[in-house]
């Protein structure tokens, strides 16, 4: 009996000690985050990505009860900030607002970038998508995508399209359209789509795939016409405009925006951030902010986001190789 009591006492003591050891660990997991977070935005202040990031950071700060600080690190088309995020400590306190250009298009255009877009990051949450709208100049005699394709095929090389520069989503969307319709349209690069608009109104540039929000003023005043949107469904911002895909099956060009962390980020941090970001995306205030930027709220699990990015990367990589597109 004495030995039995001694064994029982030892067992109880060991169990109590195990509870004491486990309790702080569980407490730490539940406490995330315990300090401010840094949200790297790899583009300059005041741009659309920055505005989106700051609104997300503001609402995330309220939900997490910790400040989420936006840190703009522009340079090299988003490469500089993305590299900083990839090399940050994987503790859940440094995250990045990434886009198609930093993780889908950029790596395909420049295989020498200093990070591996697929291996060096942890997907956290898909925040938003942005479709473009196909605009035509007043002197383009086409009232639909079907009529436009017929016009371009009947007069190859007689029409042109503007872009915001080689390798941009506007350029790639236009090349995707050419590839899938078998048409030949001359590329005229600019330093931004805003610079294309005056020449379109004057009839010197015939086609442009532009952001829906920035195109709307020119559509409302009747100076340009919208033939189609580049999402597979109609946009709530232009509900009367059909998708290109209604005429060109399978056509889609959407810029995604989402949050990544460095590789090896703690699962509890990923799950907490994903949950809170999804909650923010349901906020009417945040959705209204997205609409002013021409974006649609996304959402879903980290795995869902990873699949979106991979499909996008595969598509643009194939197009870049097919069309032999370079940024030189």
The burial of 228, by beta-carbon neighbours within 10 Å (0-12 exposed, 13-18 middle, 19 or more buried), is given as buried
Boundary of a domain, candidates 195, 220, 246: 246
Phi, psi of 133, deg, nearest 5: -125, 140
Whether residue 197 is found in the same domain as residue 220: yes
Collapsed DSSP state (helix, strand, coil) of residue 21: helix
Q: Is 269 inside a domain boundary? A: yes
- Identify the CATH number of the domain in which residue 200 sits: 3.40.190.10
- The whole-number pLDDT of residue 292 equals 87
Whether residue 87 is found in the same domain as residue 136: no
pLDDT band of 3, cuts 50, 70, 90: low
Structural domain of 242: 131-246
- The whole-number pLDDT of residue 27 equals 41
Give CA–CA dist 325/328, Å, rounded: 9
Whether residue 143 is found in the same domain as residue 239: yes
Give CA–CA dist 12/263, Å, rounded: 41
Whether residue 145 is found in the same domain as residue 223: yes
Q: What is the pLDDT of residues 270-321, one digit of tens each?
A: 999 999 999 999 999 999 999 888 899 999 999 999 999 999 999 999 999 9
Boundary of a domain, candidates 246, 278, 305: 246
Boundary of a domain, candidates 214, 246, 278: 246
Give CA–CA dist 116/299, Å, rounded: 24
- Count the domains in the chain: 2
Q: Is 25 inside a domain boundary? A: no
How would DSSP label each residue in 236-301? TTBTTSPBGGGTSTT---EEEEEEEEETT--HHHHHHHHHHHHHHHT-HHHHHHHHHHT-EE----
Q: Is 7 inside a domain boundary? A: no
The tokens describing 272, both together, are 């907490």
More confident residue, 21 or 184: 184
Whether residue 180 is found in the same domain as residue 260: no
Whether residue 159 is found in the same domain as residue 240: yes
pTM attached to this predicted model = 0.85
Cross-strand bridge partners of residue 258: 98, 126
Q: Is 115 inside a domain boundary? A: yes
- The whole-number pLDDT of residue 28 equals 43
The burial of 207, by beta-carbon neighbours within 10 Å (0-12 exposed, 13-18 middle, 19 or more buried), is given as buried
pLDDT band of 96, cuts 50, 70, 90: very high
Q: Is 152 inside a domain boundary? A: yes
- The whole-number pLDDT of residue 119 equals 97
Instruction: Identify whether the C-beta of residue 291 lies closer than 8 Å to the C-beta of residue 285.
Output: no
- Identify the CATH number of the domain in which residue 94 sits: 3.40.190.150
């Amino acid at each position: 009996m004495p030995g039995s009591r001694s064994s029982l006492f030892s067992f109880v003591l060991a169990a109590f000690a195990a509870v004491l050891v486990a309790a702080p660990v569980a407490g730490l997991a539940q406490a995330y985050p315990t300090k401010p977070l840094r949200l790297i935005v790899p583009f300059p202040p005041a741009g659309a990505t920055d505005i989106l990031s700051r609104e997300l950071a503001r609402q995330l700060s309220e939900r997490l009860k910790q400040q989420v600080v936006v840190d703009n690190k522009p340079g090299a088309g988003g490469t500089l900030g993305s590299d900083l995020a990839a090399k940050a400590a994987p503790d859940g306190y440094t995250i990045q607002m990434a886009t198609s250009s930093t993780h889908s298009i950029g790596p395909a255009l420049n295989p020498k970038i200093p990070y591996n877009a697929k291996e060096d990051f942890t997907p956290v949450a898909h925040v938003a998508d942005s479709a473009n709208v196909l605009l035509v100049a007043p002197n383009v005699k086409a009232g639909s995508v079907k009529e436009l394709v017929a016009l371009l095929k009947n007069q190859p090389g007689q029409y042109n399209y503007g872009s915001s520069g080689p390798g941009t989503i506007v350029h790639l969307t236009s090349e995707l359209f050419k590839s899938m319709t078998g048409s030949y349209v001359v590329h005229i690069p600019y330093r931004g789509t805003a610079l294309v608009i005056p020449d379109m109104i004057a009839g010197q540039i015939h086609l442009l795939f532009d952001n829906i929000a920035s195109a709307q003023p020119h559509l409302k005043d009747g100076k340009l016409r919208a033939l189609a949107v580049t999402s597979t469904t109609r946009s709530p911002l232009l509900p009367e405009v059909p998708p290109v895909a209604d005429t060109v099956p399978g056509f889609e060009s959407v810029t995604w925006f989402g949050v990544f962390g460095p590789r090896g980020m703690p699962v509890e941090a990923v799950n907490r951030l994903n949950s809170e970001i999804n909650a923010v995306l349901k906020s009417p205030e945040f959705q209204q902010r997205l609409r002013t930027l021409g974006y649609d709220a996304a959402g879903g699990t980290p795995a869902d986001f990873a699949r979106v990015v991979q499909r996008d990367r595969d598509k643009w990589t194939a197009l870049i190789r097919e069309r032999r597109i370079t940024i030189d």
